[in-house]
A and B are shown apart, each in its own frame.
Chain A
Amino acid sequence: MIERLLGLTRLARRTPPAVGLTPADVVHRENKWRLLRYRPTGGGPGDAPRHRTPVLLVPSLINRHYVLDLTPGKSFVEAMVARGHDVFIIDWGTPAAEDRFVDFDEICDRYIGRAVRVAARVRDREGDGSGGKVHLLGYCLGGTLAVIHAAAHPERIASLVALAAPIDFDEAGIMARWVRTKSFDVGALVDAMGNVPWPLMQAAFHLLRPTLPLTKAVSLVERAWDDEFLDGFFAVERWSNDNVSFPGACYRRYIEALYRDNALVTGRLSLAGQPVRLQRITCPTLAVTFEGDHIVPEASGRVLLDLVGSADKRSIRLRGGHVGAVVSRKAATTLWPQLSAWWIEHDCANDGPAHLPGAANDSP
């Protein structure tokens, strides 16, 4: 108890944790978004990535990309680079007032398409690339975007990972219920605000678990003596309060087509004028869901495997919540090795399948 009290008195003097420290280079810049490529560990000529197919990470539009590169030792990106993967990530940046006109097609078709092509080209130029293909991983809303993009442009995707990605919006919980009410007018919201302000979205997310701030406060008191816990806690808190607004035109389509019409599942969605059919995804596909995920319920993410046309499709179901299960110390021993094994197994240089520990095989 005394340790706890002493820990609490030290909280005010704690410096905010540094986040997103894995060294990276900007390989492309367009409007507000950037494509980053992480440098290999060590940085020497012998430390070049060992696997041929680059990995492209697509984070959520409304959160900062550094959730996947939180702090040294708790960074998914750092771990993947250390395992020899050539990792690229989209940093969506901060939309400005003029980006209210940026629509869903622009982001999901043009921007992600460019990121896929640039990542593949950069790798190919080094002489040992994958012939223009990338492993695509999308997290949360980034997963939905990645899946839609893969369905529209399957030719450049070596494998697809949907990490806690909402697919079936009939299963998307309170948020889906709210935006489907007659009184919620998404057009009025976008017309008035331009970009949908992040505090409004954050307030909506807090409604998913209104007791969460209190639970966090109690955890803080309980573990106030544990420096390692506090570093992780404040890093995640920093990230979860560092959000970005949603480009207005894109938000309108996202709500109308996905939340209200559930068009991805029903096959009514189109991207840049072309119909989006999940059946067109034939690359190896992995759906990762979490038991305690209040933001993306398991049922919403797992349905992907019933809809894609892949012969090799698998699921990983882990304990934990939407963020904790991806960035915790436990994730470093459960989720991360499985994702690395998945990419190694499906690397263009590999001929035979490798064992993917813990994954359920849904292949026919």
Chain B
Amino acid sequence: MSAWKLWKQMFDAWESTTADFMEQVLRSPAVLEPGGAWLTGMMKLKTASDKMAAGWWGALGLPTKRDQERTLHLINQLHSRILDLEERLEGAERP
């Protein structure tokens, strides 16, 4: 057996054991709970800073990023409704 094949066999055995062990670790609430709490904390921090920035824009009478997103979304929805109507019309015209 070549040195590479021997090394590969050892690597495969190590990988399988390590992956199983890591899965057990990651499944543990002791890892998942703090992971979730950290992510949630960071997200709340971002939301708070975004709100502050939006407040400044609003105070200057300018549309915020969220205002623009809402408007664009409504335009997209209008387009979808027009397509709905076109489909209905086509269905009604069909014998």
B interface list, Cβ under 8 A from A:
2, 4, 8, 11, 15, 18-19, 22-23, 26-27, 29, 32-37, 39-40, 42-44, 46-47, 50, 65, 68-73, 76, 79-80, 83-84, 87
Contact = CB atoms under 8 A, between A and B. Distances in A.
A98 B69 contact: yes
Contacts of A222: 4, 8
Contacts of B18: 211
Contact of B47 (A181, A182, A191): A191
A155 to B, nearest CB: 14
Interface residues of A, number: 37
B70 to A, nearest CB: 7
Contact of B33 (A4, A181, A185): A181
A96 B72 contact: yes
A98 B40 contact: no
B2 to A, nearest CB: 8
Interface string A214-244: 1100100010000000000000000000000
Interface of A: 1, 4, 30-31, 96-102, 106, 110, 114, 117, 174, 177-178, 181-185, 188-189, 191-194, 207, 209-211, 214-215, 218, 222
Contacts of A31: 76, 79-80
A207 B26 contact: yes
A106 B80 CA distance: 10
Contacts of B47: 188, 191-192
B72 A98 contact: yes
B65 to A, nearest CB: 7
Contact of A177 (B8, B32, B69): B32
A185 B18 CA distance: 30
B22 to A, nearest CB: 5
Given A101-B69, A189-B39, A189-B43, 20 more contacts: A4-B4, A30-B83, A97-B65, A97-B72, A100-B69, A110-B80, A178-B36, A181-B36, A182-B36, A183-B33, A183-B40, A184-B35, A188-B43, A191-B43, A192-B43, A193-B43, A207-B26, A209-B19, A215-B15, A222-B8
Contacts of B40: 183-185, 188-189
Contacts of A96: 72
B8 A218 contact: yes
A209 B15 CA distance: 10
List the 4 closest A-B pairs by CB distance, nearest first: A184-B36, A183-B36, A98-B72, A192-B43
Contacts of B73: 98-102
